[in-house]
Structure 1
Amino acid sequence: MTALSLATILAESARRYPDKVAVVDGDTRTTYRDLWAESLAYAAGLQELGVRPDDAVAVLIPNITDFPRVYYGALAAGARVVPVHLLLTPEEMAYVLRDSGASILVAHSSQLPTAAAAALKAGVRLVSVGPLPPDLPEAPPRLEKAVVAVPRLPTYVSREAEDVAVVFYTSGTTGKPKGALLTHLNLVMNATVNVFDVNDVRHEDVVLGCLPLFHTFGQSVSMNGAFRVGNTLVLLPRFTGEAAIELMVSERVTAFHGVPTMYVALLEAAAKADRLPDLRLCVSGGASLPIAVLERFTETFGATIFEGYGLSETSPTATANQPAFGARPGTIGHPIWGVEVEIARAKVDDRVELLPAGELGEIVVRGHNVFAGYLNRPEETAQALVDGWFRSGDLGTKDADGRITIVDRKKDLVIRGGFNVYPREVEEVLARHPAVVQVAVIGVPDAVHGEEICAVVVPDPGGVTAEELIEWSKERLGRHKYPRQVRFVEQLPMGPSFKVLKRELRKTFGGQ
Structure 2
Amino acid sequence: MTTIAALLAEKAAERPDAPLFLLPASVQALWGAKACWSYGEVQAEVARLASAFAAAGYGPGHRVALLLENRPEHFLHWLALNSLGISAVPLNPDGSAEEFGYVLGHSGAVLAIALEARAGHVRTAAAPLGLPVIGPGEVPPPAPAAPGGQTGEEAEAALVYTSGTTGKPKGCILSNLYFLNWGRWYAAQGGAISLRPWAERLMTPLPAFHVNASGHSFMGMLTTGGAQVIVDRFHPRNWWYEAAETGATCFHYLGVMPAILLELPEGPEDRAHGMRFGLGGGVHPDHHAVFEARYGVPLLEGWAMTETGGACVLCAWEEPRVLGSRCIGNPARPGPAMEARVVDDMGADVPDGTPGELWVRAAGDDPRRGLFSGYLKNAEATAEAWAGGWFHTGDVVIRDAGGRLYFNDRKKNIIRRSGENIAAIEVEGAVASCAGVAQVAVVAMPEPLRGEEVLAVIVPKTGQDEAALAQAVFDRCATQLSYFKVPGVVVFVDSLPTTSTQKLRRADLGALAEAPLAAPRSHDLRARKQGLRARSDQ
> Are 2:53 and 1:39 aligned?
no
Give the % identical residues: 28
Partner of 2:184: 192
Take 2:208 and 2:42, find their aligned partners in 1: how far apart are those partners? 16
Distance 1:325 1:46, change over 3 A: farther
SS of the residue corresponding to residue 395 of structure 2 reads strand
1:49-108 deviation per Cα after TM superposition (whole angstroms, max 9, x unaligned): 331112111111111110111111110121112111112111111111111111111112
- State yes or no: 1:466 paired with 2:454: no
2:55 to 48, 54, 58: 48
Structure 2: distance between partners of 1:145 and 1:21: 32
Please report how far the alpha carbon of residue 273 of structure 1 lies from its aligned counterpart in structure 2 after TM superposition: 5.8
Structure 1 alignment gaps of length 5 or more: 131-141, 147-156
1:390 aligns with 2:391: yes
CA contact (8 A) 2:457 2:493 kept: yes
Change (3 A) 1:273 1:63: farther
Contact 2:166/2:507, CA 8 A, preserved across alignment: no
Give the drift of 1:159. Answer: 2.5
Correspondence for 2:532: none
Identify the residue that residue 127 of structure 1 maps to in structure 2. 134
- Higher helix residue share: 2
User: Which residue of structure 2 lines up, in the alignment, with residue 139 of structure 1?
Assistant: none
CA distance in 2, matches of 1:497, 1:245: 21
Aligned partner of residue 405 in structure 1, secondary structure = strand
Tell me the CA shift for residue 240 of structure 1.
2.6
The aligned runs of 1:41-440 (5 Å cut-off) are 41-129=48-136, 142-143=138-139, 159-197=151-189, 199-202=193-196, 203-268=198-263, 270-271=264-265, 275-276=269-270, 277-285=273-281, 288-315=282-309, 318-329=312-323, 330-335=326-331, 336=333, 337-348=335-346, 352-367=347-362, 368-440=369-441
* Aligned CA distance change for structure 1 residues 504 and 341 (closer, same or farther; 3 Å): farther
| Deviation of 1:317 (Å) | 6.8
Q: Distance in 2 between matches of 1:145 and 1:166?
A: 21
Cross-structure match for 1:455: 456
Measured at CA, do residues 476 and 63 of structure 1 come closer, stay the same or move farther in structure 2, by a change above 3 Å? same
Greater displacement, 436-445 / 361-370: 436-445
The letter of the residue matching 1:310 is A
The alpha-carbon deviation at position 310 of structure 1 amounts to 0.8
CA distance in 2: counterparts of 1:239 and 1:317, whole angstroms: 28
**1:458–1:303 CA distance, 2 compared to 1 (3 A):** farther
Shift of 1:477: 1.1
Task: Give me the whole-angstrom Cα distance separating, in 2, the residues matched to 1:87 and 1:416.
Answer: 37
Cα shift at 1:208: 1.0
Inter-partner Cα distance in structure 1 for 2:416 and 2:475: 21
Once the two structures are TM-superposed, the CA of residue 462 in structure 1 deviates from its matched residue by: 7.3
Q: CA deviation at 1:9?
A: 3.1
Q: Secondary structure at the match of 2:4?
A: coil
Deviation string, structure 1 residues 105-154 (Cα, Å, up to 9, x no partner): 11122211122112213332212115xxxxxxxxxxx14899xxxxxxxx
Q: Deviations over 1:310-343 (max 9, x none)?
A: 1110115734334345432321111243343423
Q: Distance in 2 between matches of 1:36 and 1:92?
A: 33
- Give the match for residue 138 of structure 1: none
Q: Are 1:498 and 2:490 an aligned pair?
A: no
Output the CA distance in 2 between the equivalents of 1:462 and 1:291. Answer: 27
Which aligned runs of 4 or more in structure 1 are off by greater than 6 angstroms? none
Counterpart-to-counterpart distance in 2, 1:30 and 1:110: 23
Does the 8 Å CA contact 2:311/2:371 hold for their aligned counterparts?
Answer: no
Indicate conservation of the 8 Å contact 1:320/1:332, yes or no. Answer: yes
Partner SS for 1:294: helix
| Aligned length, in residue pairs | 483
| Other structure's SS at 1:313 match | coil
Larger radius of gyration: 2
Q: How many Å apart are 1:47 and its aligned residue? A: 2.0
Find the aligned partners of 1:454 and 1:354 in 2 and give their Cα distance: 31
Moved more, 273-282 or 62-71: 273-282
Which amino acid in the other structure matches residue 35 of structure 1? Answer: V
CA distance in 2, matches of 1:250, 1:370: 36
User: What is the Cα-based RMSD across aligned positions, in Å?
Assistant: 2.5
1:312 is paired with a residue whose SS is coil
Give the whole-Å Cα distance in 1 for the aligned partners of 2:382 and 2:210.
Answer: 21
- TM-score with structure 2 setting the length: 0.83
1:165-195 deviations in whole A, cap 9, x for unaligned?
A: 1111112233321111111112101222123
Shift in Å at residue 484 of structure 1?
2.1
Residues 69/433 of structure 1: CA separation in 2 closer, same or farther (3 Å cut) = same
Structure 2, unaligned runs of 5 or more: 29-33, 143-148, 363-368, 517-538
Which amino acid in structure 2 is aligned with residue 441 of structure 1?
A: V
| Cα distance in 2 for residues equivalent to 1:439 and 1:9 | 43
Q: Secondary structure at the match of 2:361?
A: strand
Q: Is the Cα contact below 8 Å between 1:453 and 1:481 reproduced in 2? A: yes
Change (3 A) 1:250 1:487: farther
Residues 186 and 325 of structure 1, relative CA distance in 2, 3 Å threshold:
farther
Distance between the aligned counterparts of 1:511 and 1:32, measured in 2? 56
357 and 340 in structure 1: CA distance in 2 versus 1, 3 angstrom threshold = farther
